[in-house]
Chain A
Amino acid sequence: MGQVKKYVVGCFDDEKVLFPAVKKVRAAGYKIQDVYTPMPVHGLDHALGMRETSLHTAGFIYGITGTTTALVCMSWIFTSDWPLNIGGKPHLPLPAFIPITFELTVLFAAVGMVLTFCYLCQLAPFVKKHHFHERATDDLMVMVIECTAKTNEEEVKAMLNSNGAVEVNVQEAPVGWWLGRYDRPSKLFKTREVAY
């Protein structure tokens, strides 16, 4: 629970309206903090100017780690730690190592990536975040524009309204996440002074 910021929130119910609105809001120089959507909207990340994620690169590194771990461990065990004659095969039966090597590659890559994903997106049980609109996971695409000291809220609201937003409001919300439960309302920031 850190800083509290002020946001102008505009809700859209159609991608066809959302995309031009995103374009205009960005062109006007406002900072779109995020757009919350109920499903992945292809191209929205580019429209918002986000860079590509490098999650898959991380996955590749985890995978390589798995490959190396499997090969190194098995080779060391079978050749130097405890060599055994199994069915007259060589002590380094490479073809017989392939299945386990493959499995560990996949295991490391998958587990590593999911954990990285959860870490980057701050996803875990009992994590709670501010939700700008409860229908953001149902049928609304919620555009959240961060206000600075210079921002004229009314102007932003008018802009969103004229660009097809079906609902526009201003919210104060804490940045980041905190531990909490969704069945209890959080009164964490309402009473506090809002600091910009």
Chain B
Amino acid sequence: MSLLKYESTLREPLVDGEKTYHQVTEDICRPVEEKANTGWKIGFTISVALLLFGIYSVYREVTYGIGQWNLNKTIGWGWDITNFVWWVGIGHAGTLISAILLLFRQGWRTGVNRAAEAMTIFAVMCAGQFPIFHMGRVWDAFFVLPYANTRGPLWVNFASPLLWDVFAISTYFTVSLLFWYSGLIPDFATIRDRAKTKARKLWYGVVSFGWTGSTKHWQRHESLSLVLAGLSTPLVLSVHTIVSFDFATSVVPGWHTTIFPPYFVAGAIFSGFAMVQTLMLVTRKVMKLDDYITLGHIEAMNKVIVLTGSIVGIAYLTELFMAWYGGSKFEYDAFYKYRIAGPYGWSYWTMMTCNVISPQLFWSKKLRRNVAFTFIMSIVVNIGMWFERFVIIVTSVYRDYIPSSWSVYYRPTIWEVGFYLGTFGLFFTCYFLFSKFAPVIAIAEIKHVLKTSGESFKEKMDVIEKESVDHFAHEHAHAH
């Protein structure tokens, strides 16, 4: 153990201001302990209202059947599956931030990982609604579970990508929840131990599982986090991969392409980071956490956005190229007649503009660090990623092999829109509750990096920075 706390002064501090361990606790626990402010109340009310509208829309669909969604040909599922894939995609950033960035030792993840993980879980919850209610007879949803039944085929079809989805999404939800919660336990304990009211003592006493902070427990906790991160990393990739399999295993032109798995994953990370940006920019402002979610954090996330946006761009162009290069007439038509042109051409160009072209503006450092611009971009990217799924699903299906499935004037019904709005309600209701009752920033993890990356601590490193390399190495590296 080297007692040296050193980090290059080239790196921006991750925690701004003069902070001590206690100050960190105070800052992050404050929103939990204070009374909810007006902004929170208004937002929460709107979310609940949306949720209620969603519940009513779903009630219509369940009671009267999927005719409420005009489902009489393949394209009818366009809107709902678009929403499903969109939400699942958003649900990728949280685990990416906490898992992959943990493995890659990107220190800046500590400021945003807790909220991003929470967002992941809520987004996956929203995503799950769509296939479940899309089943029509939702009370038979348990049919997807693998158990020996008396319905004919006896078992579910393990070779079907839709069943893979069932396994992937439920595993992803479970593992993300465990990962998130195991990280929350120590922070809940912090709130418990400083609680003044009886109710808070009781509640945080229950949810903190009797955490004491024992060194042995921390050692196991670290090991657990690391292995869960190691497991979650391929898991994140697998989830959107399997979602992409839903399309790519079929022989529908525009869907069957081998690049789909990694390209969907890149797109998911892209949209997920955009959603994290949206939420973080609001959260840091409303909760006054800009010392912890600094411009450096925002810039780092914008870098991820421009990277993944460009990867997605390469994938779009690859697809477009192969549609020509492959020499298959159907594939060619799907792209050149029905995607970039045709009645839905506008959606393709919206997608291209929002996902590939506009993120390139983030090559500029000035724009990466501009809060207002970032906020607008995060919305733009989310719109673009919604259109990506819309383009893939609708443009390939509206000119399906059977002319009876053809449709140019596809649009969702009010109850489908209501359902979608309802998932926003669900998402934000959950997020508002989370931000009120749980620390939105990982307290223990911030404390862990405070002395290397805190602003006031970094100032002391100038002295070390001036030392010669040999002297530095001699003094510190071997002083274990």
Contact = CB atoms under 8 A, between A and B. Distances in A.
Interface stretch (A109-117, A151-159, A187-195): A109-117
Given A99-B245, A106-B231, A182-B204, A93 B159 contact: yes
A80 to B, nearest CB: 12
Nearest to A128: B210
Contacts of A126: 206, 210
B264 to A, nearest CB: 14
A109 B1 contact: no
Nearest to A115: B178
Contact of B220 (A47, A53, A74, A139): A53
B190 A117 contact: no
B101 to A, nearest CB: 17
A16 B256 CA distance: 59
B408 interface: no
A42 to B, nearest CB: 7
Contact of B216 (A16, A34, A107, A181): A34
Interface in B156-199: 157-161, 163-164, 167-168, 171, 174-175, 178-179, 182, 185-186, 189-190, 192-195, 198-199
B216 A96 contact: no
B223 A56 contact: yes
A170 interface: no
B448 A100 contact: no
Interface residues of B, number: 76
A84 B154 CA distance: 10
B224 A113 contact: yes
Given A37-B215, A39-B447, A182 B235 contact: no
B85 interface: no
Given A19-B3, A183-B202, A137 B448 contact: no
B185 to A, nearest CB: 7
B155 interface: yes
Interface stretch (B19-27, B278-286, B330-338): B19-27
A78 interface: yes
B210 A110 contact: no
B129 to A, nearest CB: 20
Contact of B209 (A99, A125, A137): A125
A48 interface: yes
Interface string B26-48: 00000000000000000000000
B21 A38 contact: yes
A113 B242 CA distance: 25
Given A74-B158, A107-B175, A19 B1 contact: yes
A1 interface: no
B435 interface: no
Contacts of A82: 153-155
